[in-house]
């Protein structure tokens, strides 16, 4: 997927008179892009992303700060994302050939090309609502990819027919490399995590939303049955790190409205401070939502406090499994 975005973007870029390029695969981020523009040469350290969202801008900004000549190559950029990148002076190239560069006296802005139409026959079942549940499990248990398909389906509570489709999708996007007919090794799980967060936000999370509630007690004193109901987001982050005083409240649950009212004295309120989502994983192993999901919640919510706490969760709970 990433190489396809690069190839398409450079093919479109070459249609602009006076521009030539050379792509060099490197271990630093995703590669190096060498551009010749009006006879002058420029080199950029590149990060490739399919469709960056607002929550990813701080990370993109970090890349920009760490690498003197940084450029983002994206499959598609929303207008507000492009505006923020331009305001931050972050160079970018879209797959349709739109480009923004401001470097050493050069200013180049092309924003006349329409977004490329998605290939409807190029769907990837790893990133559907059900596929994302399987990928969520695999991101937490990397060796599980070599379980039998029946065992993996049992652990993720999805239909057996879903598993080969997810494996096929992960191979197609280059995240899984077959060693033989039965075993695989992973490649670039950090990129897969970023893809999962983006797809979770747009594909799975909207399907989990139930309703909002309010409560009167101290949130720490609510006696959740953590096999069925757990904190996510900021409260979970505080429980995991003792570093974040929550301002927004998020719960994942398998319990019904009646059970939430009866067991925890939560009261339905469309303006309530607690957002409640369905618990989409089959077995909870923590006193909170899984740290990977808490990390995603913080990234999607954004803000300096959440960013700092997300980094702590990443370092302690997530990075060792990637």
Q: Which alpha helices (H) appear in the chain, and where do they start and end?
A: 2-13, 57-66, 79-87, 129-140, 149-156, 162-172, 189-199, 205-208, 233-241, 257-264, 291-301, 304-313
Tell me: do 160 and 218 sit in the same domain: no
Question: Does residue 103 lie within any of the structural domains?
Answer: yes
Nearest CA to 173 out of 204, 203, 199 is that of: 199
Question: Does residue 218 lie within any of the structural domains?
Answer: yes
Tell me the three state secondary structure of residue 242.
Answer: coil
Nearest CA to 268 out of 217, 210, 225, 229 is that of: 210
What are the contacts of 146-149 at 24+ separation with CB within 8 A? Answer: 146/182, 146/183, 146/184
Q: What pLDDT, on the 0 to 100 scale, is given for residue 146?
A: 94
Q: 179 lies in which domain range?
A: 125-187
Tell me: do 161 and 268 sit in the same domain: no
Nearest CA to 53 out of 306, 302, 309, 304 is that of: 302
> Do the beta carbons of residue 146 and residue 184 sit within 8 Å?
yes
Tell me: do 299 and 216 sit in the same domain: yes
Tell me: do 97 and 141 sit in the same domain: no
Q: What pLDDT, on the 0 to 100 scale, is given for residue 1?
A: 66
Question: Does residue 115 lie within any of the structural domains?
Answer: no
Q: What pLDDT, on the 0 to 100 scale, is given for residue 306?
A: 93
Give the orientation angle of helix 291-301 with respect to helix 233-241, to 10 degrees: 120
Element (H, E) at 211: strand 209-214
Question: Does residue 192 lie within any of the structural domains?
Answer: no
Question: Does residue 213 lie within any of the structural domains?
Answer: yes
Q: What pLDDT, on the 0 to 100 scale, is given for residue 279?
A: 96
Torsion 78-83-88-93 (CA) sign? positive
Nearest CA to 205 out of 275, 260, 304 is that of: 275
Tell me: do 98 and 130 sit in the same domain: no
Biggest CA–CA distance in the chain, Å, is 73
Decide which of 136, 157, 187 is a domain's last residue.
Answer: 187
Number of H helices, E strands in the chain: 12, 14
Query: If you count them, how many residues does the chain have?
Result: 322
Angstrom distance (rounded) from CA 19 to CA 12 = 11
pLDDT-flagged residues of the chain (< 70):
1, 27, 118-123
CB atoms within 10 A of CB 151: 12
Question: Does residue 6 lie within any of the structural domains?
Answer: yes
Considering the entire predicted model, what is its pTM? 0.80
Count of domains observed in the chain: 3
Tell me: do 215 and 249 sit in the same domain: yes
DSSP 318: I
Residue 147 sits in a domain of what CATH number? Answer: 1.10.10.10
**CA gyration radius for the chain?**
22
């Amino acid at each position: 997927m990433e190489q396809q975005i690069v190839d398409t973007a450079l093919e479109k870029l070459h249609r602009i008179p006076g521009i030539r390029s050379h792509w060099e695969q490197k271990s630093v981020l995703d590669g190096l892009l060498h551009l010749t523009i009006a006879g002058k040469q420029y080199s950029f350290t590149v990060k490739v992303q399919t469709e960056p969202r607002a929550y990813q801008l701080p990370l993109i900004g970090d890349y920009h700060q760490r690498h003197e000549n940084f450029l983002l190559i994206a499959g598609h950029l929303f207008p507000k994302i492009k505006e923020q990148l331009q305001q931050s002076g972050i160079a970018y190239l879209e797959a349709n050939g739109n480009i923004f560069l401001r470097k050493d006296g050069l200013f180049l802005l092309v924003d006349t090309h329409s977004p490329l139409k998605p290939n409807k026959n190029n769907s990837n079942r790893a990133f559907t609502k059900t596929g994302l549940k399987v990928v969520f499990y695999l991101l937490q248990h990397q060796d599980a990819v070599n379980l039998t398909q029946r065992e993996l389906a049992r652990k993720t509570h999805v239909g057996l027919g879903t598993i080969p489709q997810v494996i096929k999708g992960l191979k197609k996007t280059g995240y899984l490399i077959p060693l033989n007919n039965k075993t695989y090794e992973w490649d670039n799980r950090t990129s897969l995590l970023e893809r999962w967060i983006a797809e979770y936000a747009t594909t799975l999370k909207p399907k989990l939303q139930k309703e909002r509630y309010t409560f009167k007690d101290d949130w720490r004193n609510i006696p959740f049955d953590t096999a069925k109901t757990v904190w996510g987001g900021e409260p979970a982050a505080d429980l995991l790190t003792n570093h974040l005083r929550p301002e927004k409240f998020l719960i994942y649950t398998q319990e019904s409205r009646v059970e939430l009212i009866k067991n925890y004295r939560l009261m339905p309120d469309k303006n309530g401070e607690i957002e409640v989502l369905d618990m989409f994983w089959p077995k909870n192993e923590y006193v909170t939502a899984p740290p990977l999901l808490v990390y995603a919640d913080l990234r999607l919510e954004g803000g300096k406090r959440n960013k700092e706490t997300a980094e702590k969760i990443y370092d302690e709970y997530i990075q060792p499994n990637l």
